[in-house]
Amino acid sequence: MKKNIAAGILVSLALVYLSVRGIPWAGVREGVAAMHWGFALPALAAMVLMQVFRSIRWGVILGPMEKIRQRTLFPITSVGFLAIVSLPARLGELARPYLIARRSGIRMSAALGTIFVERVFDGLTVLSLFALTPLLTPLPPWLLRSGAIFFALTAGLLAAMTLLLLKRERALGLLRPLLAKLPAPYGAELAGLVDRFVDGFQMIADGKRFLAVAALSLVIWVLDVFAIYILFPAFGLALPVGAALVVMIILVAGIALPAAPGFIGNWHFACILALGLFGVAKADALTFAILYHVLSLGVVIALGLPFLPFQRFSLADVRRQT
């Protein structure tokens, strides 16, 4: 775990350096001062709605195991995303499974499986939206190839998850002899952990839930594109919707890498790279990245902080639970 944290911090430091290298800071200050803050309001509203729909979607995914009310799920979702931006190396992803396991009959390993399902649907939705981008704006071949490769990998992962769920006993039957070679009792414990993890995939086999999760995922990421697009004129950037889609896909890829708390560096470099494809000067792109980052973190903190005293957790607690 310490190595993961160190790797995340090193990656962020390297990307911070690349982001600020050669930047004329006077231009950044002027850009911040000239920002039209009225455009921030609809962007903030979209970000809040994203959190609401994420909580609703998680409830649909958890549904086959236990029906949980939004008055329980939304605070946990809010604290969970606060943990993601507060802890390095995406260790905050463990917060929601831990907290929901404490407040329901769902095991933490099964809840972790639902987070995995979320990430797969997020990936497929983002990449599906990205597939529309060439219809709106020309893109470099390397970006199109990367998107196609990641879409194929993510779709393959969803197919593998479905197969694992439908053929669980056969898959576990193949896995148990391998796990039996581990020192007792670790093999049996790991087999049970995998079995419970697959419990989190149950909604994949339910057609109505599958479509509901797909639709909610689309709403979430369309809101994200809207938030990015509506912020462009706040900085005087006359860019098409396709540019917002490109910022989204590169930003999602950037923050998926190991990172320091708050995705510092990763976030900014991704925005600079994406906006650079549309001829935006580095100083202007960094200004956009800084303020978009501040607004996004502000929403996560504002939604998560009020619930934090009632949803406490620590990494030591998470280790004991697993």
At 199-253, the pLDDT tens digits run: 999 999 999 999 999 999 999 999 999 999 999 999 889 999 999 999 999 999 9
Please state the rounded mean pLDDT for residues 157-171.
90
Measured between alpha carbons, how far is 200 from 288 in angstroms, rounded to an integer? 38
Measured between alpha carbons, how far is 173 from 186 in angstroms, rounded to an integer? 17
Please state the rounded mean pLDDT for residues 161-168.
90
Measured between alpha carbons, how far is 210 from 216 in angstroms, rounded to an integer? 10
Contact 19, 259 (CB under 8 A): no
Beta-carbon count within 10 A of 211 CB: 11
Give the pair of three-digit tokens for residue 33: 């001062």
Angle formed by the axes of helices 282-304 and 207-231, nearest 10°: 130
pLDDT value of residue 169 = 86
- Which pairs from 93-101 meet CB under 8 Å and 24+ separation? 94/315, 94/318, 95/313, 95/318, 96/58, 98/313, 98/317, 98/318, 98/321, 99/311, 99/313, 100/62, 100/68, 100/73, 100/76, 101/321
Where residue 263 falls (left for φ over 0; alpha for ψ -120 to 50; beta otherwise) is left
Closest CA to 222 of 117, 311, 125: 125
At 86-104, the pLDDT tens digits run: 988 778 899 999 999 999 9
Angle formed by the axes of helices 282-304 and 40-62, nearest 10°: 50
Closest CA to 313 of 122, 92, 48, 110: 92
Of the chain, the percentage scoring pLDDT greater than 70 comes to 96
Query: Looking at the predicted structure, is the pLDDT value of residue 322 above 70?
Result: no
Choose between 296 and 260: higher pLDDT. 296
Give the pair of three-digit tokens for residue 265: 């560096």
